Amino acid sequence: MNPIPEEDETSIITEESIRIEKKQSKNNIEDNKDSYANNNNENSLIQSENNINKSNITEEINNNINININQKKNHLNNNKKNIKKVIKKVEYKIILLGEFNVGKSSIIAQFVDNNYQKIEKQKNCKNKCKSIAVDSETVAKLELYDSSGEEKFNKTLPNQFYKDAYGAIIVYDITNKESFNKIKFWINEIISKCPSDTIILIIGNKTDIKERVVSYDEGNLLAQKYQIEYFETSAKTGNNITLIFEKLLFEIIKKQNQNETKSFINERSSQRKSVKLTEKKNNLNRENNNENNNPKSKCKC
């Protein structure tokens, strides 16, 4: 038999002790609850503070991004405005004249497309364009008018072809005397059908061919006779092709500036005349008014 254990005072479980214990644990739970709640509040406070901080930061970042985007947009718009402001486009009609087969279409093809071989497909091409920068603010668009082969059948070109031309390039072939002899005819055509200030150039083409029948001096002398500038080119190699169009453009702009200055001076002098006239009128009116308003004025004494 097992001995009955001696009852320990501390181990005696009484109703009272259970009650006390219950109360204590109840208090503990309440305490825990409080501290849990406090902790929770603190945590949530920290969390919400964090959240507030986070949302502040996000807001700030968003604001910064928006400011950046707006700044960039403004910058872009300003640039666009500046580009629109800066670039000025001017258009000039240029006509190419001369006998059949001298190389007019080849010159245009070489200038516009840097391609001499493409000429067969581009025969009788009309109205090709190329833009050249005049300076940082101006771009000139050259509209190049080629004949449609009328010259082959000795047909005259329509008046519309000459109309409003700023520049005219007369081309002849240095290996073909007949084309050279026809230059005078083309000059007369331009003088009678183009605007009076059309700039003319004379071009001796096909310099890449050794067997020439017209010398440089012959061509130059004829041009000098008409006070026209003379150049020699090769549409095949591209020699001097860009140069002649740049030269023509330069002369056109120079002429335009001269014309503008002239019209400005005329305008000013006509303004000065009209000022003098109105001054005279005003003086007259003043005299009349004096006479009418002041009866004494009639008095001669």
List of residues contacting Mg ion (CB under 5 A): 104-105
Residue 123 touching ligand GDP (CB under 6 A): yes
Cβ atoms of 195 and 165 within 8 Å: the answer is: yes
For 107, other C-beta atoms within 10 Å of its C-beta total 28
Q: What would the DSSP string read from start to end of 176-196?
A: -HHHHHTHHHHHHHHHHHS-T
Query: Of the candidates 93, 94, 95, 104, which one interacts with ligand GDP according to CB under 6 A?
Result: 104
Q: Which does 234 bind (CB under 5 to 8 A by kind): Mg ion, ligand GDP, none?
A: ligand GDP
Q: Which is nearer to ligand GDP, 106 or 198 (CB)?
A: 106
Using the CB atoms, write b or e for 198-231: b if 16+ within 10 Å.
bbbbbbbbbbeeeebebeeeebbebbeeeebbbb
- Give the residue ranges of DSSP H helices in 87-174: 104-113, 119-122, 159-162
d(CA 41, CA 37): 6
Q: What would the DSSP string read from start to end of 213-230?
A: SS-HHHHHHHHHHTT-EE
Cβ atoms of 185 and 216 within 8 Å: the answer is: no
Residue 54 touching ligand GDP (CB under 6 A): no
Query: Of the candidates 94, 97, 112, 119, which one interacts with ligand GDP according to CB under 6 A?
Result: 119
Q: Which does 167 bind (CB under 5 to 8 A by kind): Mg ion, ligand GDP, none?
A: none
Nearest distance from residue 103's CB to ligand GDP, in Å?
3
Q: Which does 182 bind (CB under 5 to 8 A by kind): Mg ion, ligand GDP, none?
A: none
Q: Which does 235 bind (CB under 5 to 8 A by kind): Mg ion, ligand GDP, none?
A: ligand GDP
- Which of positions 184-213 make contact with ligand GDP (CB under 6 A)? 205-206, 208-209
Q: Which is nearer to ligand GDP, 96 or 253 (CB)?
A: 96
Q: Helix crossing, 241-293 with 104-113: angle to 10°?
A: 90
Torsion of CA 223, 235, 244, 143, to 10 degrees: 110
- Size of site (CB under 6 A) for ligand GDP: 17
Nearest distance from residue 156's CB to ligand GDP, in Å?
16
Q: Which does 204 bind (CB under 5 to 8 A by kind): Mg ion, ligand GDP, none?
A: none
- Which of positions 228-267 make contact with ligand GDP (CB under 6 A)? 234-236
C-alpha distances out from residue 278 to 263, 284, 290, 292, Å: 22, 10, 18, 20
Q: Which is nearer to ligand GDP, 105 or 198 (CB)?
A: 105
Q: Which is nearer to ligand GDP, 99 or 140 (CB)?
A: 99
For 235, other C-beta atoms within 10 Å of its C-beta total 26
Q: Which is nearer to ligand GDP, 144 or 253 (CB)?
A: 144
Q: Which residues bind ligand GDP (CB under 6 A)?
A: 98, 100-106, 119, 123, 205-206, 208-209, 234-236
